[in-house]
């Protein structure tokens, strides 16, 4: 294990250079994002091995305080950290233990929960998924019905979760469950930690439009969960879950995926000899200008947070803009490729190997997850009209 360096003691430029150099030397070339897989994600052993390597070399959990094993970076250095991952073409990992559960436990967990779970998140002994959505409780999450009833030292959990990303790759799930009925439905929800090996749990993968089994249904049938796995107060899980939403939307709003789709668009226009097609070039110019504007907006909001601000409702703008831009670009890529765009699987366009169907389909859900875009518009409208929040 490398000695933990305090990166806040070195300049931003020095930090950037060190991380860049390390990434170039250590991220496996065959797992990089490229035109073929512009939004590539790591799964299973590839993900665990990569996160382990980051951990062993002191590059894991940039936002966690150093006392809990993280890097303790300021927001500005976290931005550099993410920029360098993107710059190096490092495939993304959906690491909800690091990005969501760890910060939640640091903020709302007990000392015992932090001691038990945080080190295992860092080492990847535990891989976590998020069990919030249910059939009938997505945007209106507070309508969730999966119940947890106290029975001596346990909760007994019954119900179903859906769209649980990578539950089939995970060892544990953090969940919102109904523990009480109150006139305000956000009350009576609690935050529970559950080992997915507990008897009574069934995981059924769902194949998405791109052909990947990336999310699942998870069924709970009289599942006994130790009461000590409750995070925060009983019936107050809504506040526990909401504590982190602002930062989640900042990272989800990153312009990087749209940037990769635009790079592919430029390559396709060249390979398909479309540079004389005024209609195509006008659309490309518009999309490029939109991405340029968006990068400036993203930088402005991030710099505001780095200068000591808190993520406010404007982060909803990021989620909206980034997701719609990505869809616009992947649609453009598929359309200009004409007959190639309809092929499912790999196709060679000039010297470039692409899978246009995959990049198009992988961009479809971005307007739905992490708060559907209509809901983000609602949040923005309420802020502008100064209406009361739920």
Ligand X SMILES: Cc1cc2nc3c(=O)[nH]c(=O)nc-3n(C[C@H](O)[C@H](O)[C@H](O)COP(=O)(O)OP(=O)(O)OC[C@H]3O[C@@H](n4cnc5c(N)ncnc54)[C@H](O)[C@@H]3O)c2cc1C
Residues assigned a catalytic role: 248
Q: For residue 352, give every residue at least 6 positions away whose Cβ sits within 8 Å of its Cβ, in sequence order, or none.
A: 35, 36, 267, 268, 271
- Cα separation, 59 vs 244, in Å, equals 22
Q: Is 378 in the site for ligand X (CB under 6 A)?
A: yes
For ligand X, give the closer residue by CB, 75 or 146.
146
For ligand X, give the closer residue by CB, 65 or 135.
135
Task: Sort 367 into a burial class: Cβ within 10 Å, 0-12 / 13-18 / 19+.
Answer: middle
- Cα separation, 110 vs 146, in Å, equals 24
Selected binder of ligand X within 110, 139, 202, 286 (CB under 6 A): 139
Selected binder of ligand X within 39, 50, 64, 163 (CB under 6 A): 163
Count, residues near ligand X per rule CB under 6 A: 18
Q: For residue 381, give every residue at least 6 positions away whose Cβ sits within 8 Å of its Cβ, in sequence order, or none.
A: 387
Task: Sort 383 into a burial class: Cβ within 10 Å, 0-12 / 13-18 / 19+.
Answer: middle
For ligand X, give the closer residue by CB, 84 or 104.
104
For ligand X, give the closer residue by CB, 195 or 378.
378
CB 163 within 8 A of CB 133: yes
Q: Is 165 in the site for ligand X (CB under 6 A)?
A: yes
Selected binder of ligand X within 6, 14, 233, 374 (CB under 6 A): 374
Phi, psi of 204 (to 5 degrees): -125, 110
Which window, 59-67, 269-277, 316-324, 371-379, contacts ligand X (CB under 6 A)? 371-379
- Cα separation, 371 vs 390, in Å, equals 14
Q: Is 245 in the site for ligand X (CB under 6 A)?
A: no
Rounded least distance, CB 5 to ligand X, Å: 33
- Cα separation, 172 vs 7, in Å, equals 31
Q: For residue 197, give every residue at least 6 positions away whose Cβ sits within 8 Å of its Cβ, in sequence order, or none.
A: 171
For ligand X, give the closer residue by CB, 73 or 105.
105
What is the pattern of x (binds ligand X, CB under 6 A) and - over residues 196-215? Answer: -------------------x
The residue nearest ligand X at its CB is 138
Q: Is 38 in the site for ligand X (CB under 6 A)?
A: no
DSSP character for 99? I
Residues 99 to 138 in contact with ligand X, rule: CB under 6 A = 129-133, 138
Which window, 98-106, 113-121, 144-152, 368-376, contacts ligand X (CB under 6 A)? 368-376
- Cα separation, 341 vs 355, in Å, equals 8
For ligand X, give the closer residue by CB, 335 or 390.
390
Going by their DSSP bridges, the two strands 201-206 and 215-226 should be labelled as antiparallel
Q: Is 164 in the site for ligand X (CB under 6 A)?
A: yes
Q: Is 390 in the site for ligand X (CB under 6 A)?
A: no
- Cα separation, 144 vs 176, in Å, equals 8
Selected binder of ligand X within 22, 219, 251, 369 (CB under 6 A): 369
For binding to ligand X (CB under 6 A), which residues are involved? 129-133, 138-139, 163-165, 215, 365, 368-369, 372, 374-375, 378
């Amino acid at each position: 294990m490398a000695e933990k360096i305090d990166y806040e003691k070195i300049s931003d430029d020095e930090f950037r250079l060190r991380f860049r150099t390390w990434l170039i030397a250590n991220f496996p070339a065959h797992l990089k994002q490229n035109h073929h897989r512009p939004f590539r994600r790591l799964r299973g052993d590839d993900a665990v091995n990569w996160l382990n390597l980051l951990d062993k070399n002191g590059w894991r959990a940039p936002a966690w305080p150093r006392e809990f094993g993280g890097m303790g970076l300021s927001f500005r250095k976290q931005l550099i950290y993410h920029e360098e991952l993107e710059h190096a073409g490092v495939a993304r990992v959906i690491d909800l233990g690091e990005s969501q559960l760890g910060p939640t436990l640091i903020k709302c967990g007990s000392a015992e929960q932090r001691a038990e779970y945080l080190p295992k998140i860092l080492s990847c002994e535990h891989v976590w998924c998020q069990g919030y959505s249910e059939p009938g409780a997505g945007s209106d999450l507070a309508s969730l019905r999966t119940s947890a009833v106290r029975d001596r030292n346990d909760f007994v959990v019954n119900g179903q979760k859906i769209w649980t990303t990578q539950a089939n790759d995970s060892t544990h799930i953090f969940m919102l469950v109904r523990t009480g009925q109150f006139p305000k439905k956000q009350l009576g929800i609690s935050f529970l930690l559950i080992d997915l090996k507990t008897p009574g749990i069934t995981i059924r993968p769902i194949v998405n439009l791109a052909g990947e089994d990336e999310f699942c249904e998870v069924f709970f049938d009289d599942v006994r969960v130790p009461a000590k796995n409750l995070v925060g107060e009983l019936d107050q899980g809504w506040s526990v879950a909401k504590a982190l939403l602002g930062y989640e939307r900042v990272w989800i709003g990153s312009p990087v995926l749209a940037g990769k789709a635009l790079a592919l668009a430029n390559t396709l226009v060249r390979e398909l000899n479309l540079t004389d097609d005024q209609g195509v070039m006008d659309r490309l110019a518009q999309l490029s200008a939109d991405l340029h504007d968006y990068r400036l907006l993203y930088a402005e909001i991030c710099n505001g947070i780095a200068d000591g601000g808190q993520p406010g409702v404007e982060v909803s703008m990021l989620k909206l803009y980034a997701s719609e831009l990505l869809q616009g670009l992947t649609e453009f890529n598929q359309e200009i490729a004409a007959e190639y765009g309809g092929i499912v699987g790999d196709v060679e366009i000039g010297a470039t190997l692409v899978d246009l169907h995959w990049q198009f389909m992988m961009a479809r859900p971005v307007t739905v997850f992490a708060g559907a875009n209509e809901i983000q518009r609602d949040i923005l409208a309420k802020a502008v009209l100064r209406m009361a929040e739920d």
